[in-house]
Amino acid sequence: MITEKPNAAKRIADALNEKGTPVKHEEHGVTYYDVVRNGERIRVVPAIGHLYSVAQEGKGWTYPIFQTKWVPSYIANKQSRNTENFIRVISKLSRDAKNFISATDFDIEGSQIAYCVLKYACGELSLTRAQRMKFSTLTNRDIIEGFNSLLPTLDWELIEAGRTRHEIDWIYGINLSRAMILSLKKVSGMYKALSTGRVQGPTLAFIAEREKKIRSFVPKPFWIINAVAIIDGKKYSLEYFQKKIWIKKEAEKVINECNNKVGVVSQIQTRKTLHKPPVPLDIGTLQSEAYTYFRFTPSRTLRIAEQLYLDALISYPRSGSQKFPPSIDLHAILKSLSNIEEYSQMARELLSKEKLVPTQGKKEDSAHPPIHPTGNSPEKKLKEDNRKIFDLVVRRFLAVFGDPSIRESLKIEITVNGHLFHLRGSRILAQGWQKYYSPYIRSEETILPQLKEGQKIELDSIELVDKYTTAPPRYNPKSVLMLMENQHIGTKATRAEIIDTLYSRGYITGERIFMTPLGFSVINLLSKYCPKVLSVELTRELEQEMEEIETNKRTRQEVIIDAVEKLTPILKELKLKEKIIGQGLSEALASLRREKSTIGMCPICKEGSLTITHSKKTRKRFIGCSNYWTKKCSFSVPIPQEGDIETTGENCQYCGFPIVRIRRPRKKPWNMCINWQNCPRGKNKVQ
């Protein structure tokens, strides 16, 4: 039995073994298990994610390259060295196996992982003797049920779709990226890891378009009227019916005609609104909510959710579903949650309802249900970040069973010398589902006094306020993720990774996303000389074709041939423009280096600039004053040698030195006062 990760292997082995604990073995650092079930010995062996990767057929660092092959990941990528022992152990153990079971995650990636392991590590014959195990949680119940209901063959539709996606993504990514890297190298002799692809390009183009709108935006003046009324001794804000007045004289006229006048209540409108419970969580919604409430990036949320899944606390997170299938025992999950102190009272309230009917969304995923808690209690105290995501998942699950919340809105029209003002209030009549989803719901109340039509209202003040229109908001990781989902580019499993890649390549920076000179250069050059690379329609078309493989409407060969035919003219165009593209990239990189190395003015000498530089002896980087080399200023400080360093535009409140952000791959970004050695807050303390 092949599992996707070591944690999953242990949980599956523990669940399936009929007596006692499974027999544990370790070989070359790989732990596997022998279990006995129904009188048969089953060897449960883990992979560690993808053990095989797509690579180039033949040698030569050039493009175009269309011939691919699958090779062990440690050959394709030096950072995957730990996969070698897993392949070696699996290959050895498979020789005595009579049958094989794919027990990886039931999705495209999981099916692809198991297929490659069986085909290349266990031999082609294993594919004909393999069955598929399907489960959505790593609870004992789901594991045993999945084992008792093995699919007779591998899930070939998902496998074919997975192979196609990996091969097409590799063909597009390697060719387009090499085109840029080689263009730069031919012009400047410099190597720089650059990349683009069928999803990365359009995503970056969206961000660039927003950046252009922001930079070209010209603010326009407008005026608003703020009025304050006194009712029963308390002050209340009034809204002028016209929220924006574009001509100042018109606004001044309203002020003059209403000043020192008494208002009259002309109409009272009351409306009750029912707010339905939220739909169950899919991965995109979970990532969005986690960013809103915790500021977790999409990739960070996914990593935490995957860990909670491996701990058997939540269901499989890479789900696109918002509908619970009948096979999920929702009553049993709520009953289990009632044994967890924090959720006990809420779960019991829901269990006491006559009917337990969850709200359902529109999205459906045939492979997995929405993300939900399993009902299991954490076996040990969760890390703070993991606890937050677990709490969010549990409370969202509880909320979908709640009653609608009811809000009463009150709009009172007040006429002042012929001019209409509004006094607005609202209150919650029934909390409904909101009490279960608290604190992940923002709801304010404004309670108004009892008023009657014809009642006179005294104005305390009325004033004119100058305003200017604002530029469109900058994207953040959450809004980019939602944009990709709405545009149907990328998959629920890859979108977060694409955003991380744009950061790591230096194309974008900051939580409120800014385009760097390099990012703009890539977009400008590609849009000018090869616009098809950035085409959303092309990407969406390929996505649709790959999805059709899963339903047997298209074959893998058809889709790959079509993808290559679309890519070939693009690469020919890039070949012709190599010199121009290389020159543009070279200039952008020089500008980016200057921008990234400058931190700000030196607070010590107040003349030089604080810059990131490298020691002539050790080549280690540090931050020092530009007057350091001329001995006019002695300030210098060591900094982390790994990761990108970004300016934040903020200064330390304790010492006044700039604060920088350290961004490292697959790790949480953190802020640091560059004067950390002498900052009054304390030595070695970070902001």
Q: Is 510 helix (H, G, I), strand (E, B) or coil?
A: coil
Is residue 30 predicted with pLDDT exceeding 70?
yes
pLDDT, one tens digit per residue, over 288-307 is: 999 999 999 999 999 999 99
Q: Would you say the pTM of this structure is higher than 0.75?
A: yes
Write out the DSSP string of 88-114.
Answer: HHHHHHGGG-S-EEEES-SSHHHHHHH
Domains in the chain: ranges and CATH = 2-154 (3.40.50.140), 163-216+482-589 (1.10.460.10), 221-272+406-432+440-468 (2.70.20.10), 283-399 (1.10.290.10), 602-673 (no CATH)
* Proportion of the chain above pLDDT 90, given as a percent: 67
Q: How confident is the model at residue 666 (pLDDT cuts 50, 70, 90)?
A: low
Residue 595: CB atoms within 10 Å: 13
Distance CA 346, CA 352 (A): 10
Is residue 601 predicted with pLDDT exceeding 50?
yes
Over range 185-207, report the average pLDDT.
Answer: 90
pLDDT, one tens digit per residue, over 472-513 is: 999 999 999 999 999 988 888 889 999 999 998 889 988 899
Over range 221-250, report the average pLDDT.
Answer: 93
pLDDT, one tens digit per residue, over 75-86 is: 988 888 999 999
Is residue 188 predicted with pLDDT exceeding 50?
yes
pLDDT of residue 674: 81
pLDDT of residue 682: 56
pLDDT, one tens digit per residue, over 518-538 is: 899 889 888 888 888 898 998
pLDDT of residue 482: 94
Write out the DSSP string of 438-499.
Answer: TTS-----BPPPP--TT-EEEEEEEEEEEEE--PPPPP-HHHHHHHHHHTT-S-TTTHHHHH
The mean of the pLDDT values for the chain is 90
Give 344 or 599, the one with higher predicted confidence: 344
pLDDT of residue 118: 97
Beta strands in 497-539 (DSSP E): 508-509, 514-515
Segment (H or E) for 267: strand 262-275
pLDDT, one tens digit per residue, over 459-468 is: 999 999 999 9
- Of 316, 436, 503, 628, the catalytic one is 316
Is 316 annotated in the active site?
A: yes
pLDDT, one tens digit per residue, over 123-159 is: 999 999 999 999 999 999 999 999 999 999 999 999 9
pLDDT of residue 687: 41
pLDDT of residue 290: 95
Distance CA 663, CA 661 (A): 6
pLDDT, one tens digit per residue, over 357-414 is: 999 999 888 778 999 999 999 989 999 999 999 999 999 999 999 999 999 999 999 9
Write out the DSSP string of 315-354.
Answer: --SS----S--TTS-HHHHHHHHTTSGGGHHHHHHHHTSS
